[in-house]
Amino acid sequence: MKKDMNTNDLLLADLTKKASEIITKLKRHEVNSLVPNNEQLIKFEGISLDYSRQLINHKILTSLTKLDQLKNFKKKVTGLLSGKEMALHTVFRQGEVGLIDEGTDTWKRIEKQFFMVQELCKKLENGEKTGWTNDRFENVIFLGLGGSMIPQKFVHKALKNKYQTSRLKFGFFSNPDGLDLCEYLMSCNARTTFFVLQSKSLKTPEIFFLFDYARKWLHDHGCSKEGEFSHFSVVTSNPKSAKAKGFPNDHIFEIPEKLGGRFSIWSAMGLSLALMADKENFDSFRIGAKNMDQHFYKATVLQNLPIIMALISVWNRTFLNFTTQLIVNYSSALDNLVPYLQQLEMESLGKSINKEGVRVSYPTSGIIWGGSGFDAQHAYFQLLHQGTDIVPTTFVEVLEDKAETNNLSVSSYTKENIRAQADALAMGSPLDGFDGNRPSSIISINGVSPYNLGALMALMEHKVFVQSVFWNLNCFDQPGVELGKQLLSSKVSNFNEEL
């Protein structure tokens, strides 16, 4: 044991020394002296990562994997993929014969839920399910907040142009002031509009402000209170409360309490995708995630996408003390990627108390920010190239299939543009006062398909999990969010009872 501790101390000392040397060179403005020369590229199916412009090499990565923080790592991954690591999201995409365990009672319950989802989709699509006037529905509006909404909006925006097969129109609303919802409803017919409430606890006041707006709108257009629930469905882990509020049994989709909101799109919380696309595409989305699970479980460390991405983030944050991470995407389909990653990373890893309840002595999650790459280049890239803070940047590109794109010149321009920006950040221009040494990675996706999107989201989930293991954090809770809810509850203690 003593030998192991000494080995770990030596590794930490060596890594700290390397980090200190890099920081010293950065402070001395030694232009582009730190950029690795070797190509560092790993790939799994339709997703690849080029991290050759990061301030890291294979030796540092290997040393990081040998630290005590990652002891018993394989066991923890096994627990995650079998639904035993405080979360169930991976089980929802495993199928009856999962990656770790075979057919369980949990899967049987999941299968029943998916059957209910497909039945609702079929009945809404073919007009079998109707509202109070027996007219078939034309619009489906989702009301939710946080983890019950952000991933859904990301997926819907990413896939709707190429993969929507439904005749239905869709809307997504979160703000309890109701302004956006009311504006949208002006173009809807109350007789043909269906609402889906998405709330894990069914105790979130914001959701019920929106619920009340929707009910009042139906009533104002002639719907009776007896007929209103033919226009509503709910996804929740609190079916008892849903029944008490009047939702019929076949309109209640129960998810497990153990399924975290920001990880819940693989369940009935992904109803928007199941409705928008057909069953084949919904299944392909989950299969892409399942295959990324397998890659995470089986690939060697230096060829493992989630592990490498996580260790780069740990190196940049904990050892090099970079405080933020920029994500820039170069496809309109991925316009909602940054909000999705902001919640996934900062809600999961934005913590200073470890699993044992002890305050940590090292930096954890940095601030995630970003947006559209083309806009960013003409807005805040000046700061990236020449500002006083170094901001690690991740470029996300979509490589369009030649047979599917109508504008190869734009596709080629985008690809070269990203690499020009990445090279400029890395190499700088000494005569013009650009030091370089600004780290970046490029994530390339071979088309935004349900399969590739599922794989990408699973990749990001696993990246967060690896970081949580390294930092000894519980990435499946959100005590800061809960504290805010408790304080609100104490100020308006009777609010939920009035809803």
Is the separation of the CB atoms in 312 and 51 below 8 Å? yes
Catalytic residues: 347, 378, 485
pLDDT tens digits for 221-271? 999 989 999 999 999 999 999 999 999 999 999 998 888 889 999 999 999
Residue 81 lies in a domain: no
pLDDT tens digits for 447-499? 999 999 999 999 999 999 999 999 999 999 888 777 776 677 666 655 554 44
Number of domains in the chain: 2
pLDDT tens digits for 387-423? 999 999 999 999 976 555 556 678 889 999 999 999 9
Q: What is the CATH number of the domain that holds 150?
A: 3.40.50.10490
| 196 and 275 share one domain | yes
| 154 and 259 share one domain | yes
User: What residue type is assigned to position 98 of the chain?
Assistant: G
| 118 and 57 share one domain | no
pLDDT tens digits for 427-439? 888 778 888 899 9
What pLDDT shows up at residue 432? 83
pLDDT tens digits for 8-54? 888 889 899 989 988 888 877 665 555 554 558 999 999 999 999 99
What pLDDT shows up at residue 324? 98
| 249 and 355 share one domain | no
pLDDT tens digits for 258-313? 888 899 999 999 999 999 998 999 999 999 999 999 999 999 999 999 999 999 99
Instruction: Determine the structural domain holding residue 343 and report its residue range.
Output: 28-66+299-482
| 239 and 132 share one domain | yes
| 46 and 167 share one domain | no
Of 282, 312, 338, which residue sits at a domain end?
282
Q: Which pair of tokens denotes residue 158?
A: 């990413």
| 439 and 337 share one domain | yes
**145 phi, psi to nearest 5 deg:** -150, 145
What pLDDT shows up at residue 435? 86
| 275 and 339 share one domain | no
Of 225, 245, 222, 221, give the one whose Cα is nearest residue 233: 245
What pLDDT shows up at residue 498? 44
Which of left, alpha, beta for 286 (phi over 0: left; psi -120 to 50: alpha)? alpha
Of 227, 247, 282, which residue sits at a domain end?
282
349 Cβ contact list (under 8 Å, min separation 6): 364, 365, 464, 467, 468, 471, 473, 475
| 133 and 178 share one domain | yes
| 353 and 316 share one domain | yes
**Cβ burial, residue 350 (10 Å; 0-12/13-18/19+):** middle
Q: Given CA atoms 376, 382, 386, 387 in this order, what sign does their dihedral have?
A: negative
Residue 451 lies in a domain: yes
CA–CA separation, 271 and 289 (whole Å): 17
- What Å distances lie between residue 235 and 34, 201, 202, 251, 257, CA to CA? 50, 10, 9, 8, 12
| 365 and 425 share one domain | yes
| 50 and 98 share one domain | no
**For all residues of the chain together, what is the average pLDDT?**
89
Residue 202 lies in a domain: yes
